[in-house]
Amino acid sequence: MSAESGISTFRDAGGLWEKHRVEDVATIEGYERDPQLVINFYNERRKQLSTVHPCRGHELVAALEKDFDVTVITQNVDDLHERAGSSDVVHLHGELMKVTSSFSPNDPSQIQTLQSDHLEVHLGEKAPDGSQLRPFIVWFGEPVPMIEKAAELTAQADIFVIIGTSLNVYPAAGLIQFVAPDTPIYLIDPKDVPWSSVHRFIHIKKGASAGMEELMEILQDKDK
């Protein structure tokens, strides 16, 4: 989804993210090995995020709230869904605009939201518990605290829409197993996507924005 806004993804770059190895900037081992590199990397990602805007796809997802009770479950760490107007967003992999404790990253009392005039974190800046502030990002190998909530929401869905994912990253990719048997699934992605579920789906082979345009038409026709 966010690729259309100019946010790069590592899955399309052979395991690289903004020319860095994912192992160096998106694992606890990389952070412990070189915290300055990791802190600088996410400082740059925040600066980049401040220069981009929600794409048409983000806006159309938000527009669904006019007719549906919508929950967005996202693997993206940016705030573009919120900026587009989505009111209920579950971030599986954390939030780029937040920082937290290196000791207890998922403790709500340690999580802070950065402001637009303070996007950089520096080595030596402390969380309330006295540890180094780190990005509030779920790195590879770390638990995904919101996955149980996401699974519960998925099981309750009357319509399930998947937008622009490789379905290679677990546990998020496993959410399709929680979709109720009679719930329609729409997959929006211009590429062929590996599908491991017995659940049938409708594949809209377009990018996020064009695919959402088509989905809106389909849902409007069903309402007639």
Indicate which residues carry an active-site annotation: 93
Question: What does the alpha-carbon distance between residue 61 and residue 81 come to, in Å, rounded to a whole number?
Answer: 8
| 8 A C-beta contact, residue 79 and residue 119 | no
Q: Say whether 19 sits in a helix, a strand or coil.
A: coil
> Cis (ω within 30 of 0) for the bond into 171?
yes
H-only helix segments in the chain: 22-25, 28-33, 35-49, 56-63, 80-84, 147-156, 208-223
Question: What does the alpha-carbon distance between residue 178 and residue 195 come to, in Å, rounded to a whole number?
Answer: 14
Question: What does the alpha-carbon distance between residue 89 and residue 109 come to, in Å, rounded to a whole number?
Answer: 20
Question: What does the alpha-carbon distance between residue 37 and residue 89 come to, in Å, rounded to a whole number?
Answer: 29
Q: Where are any strands of DSSP class E within the chain? A: 16-17, 20-21, 72-74, 89-91, 94-101, 112-113, 133-137, 160-163, 185-188, 202-204
DSSP state of 169: S
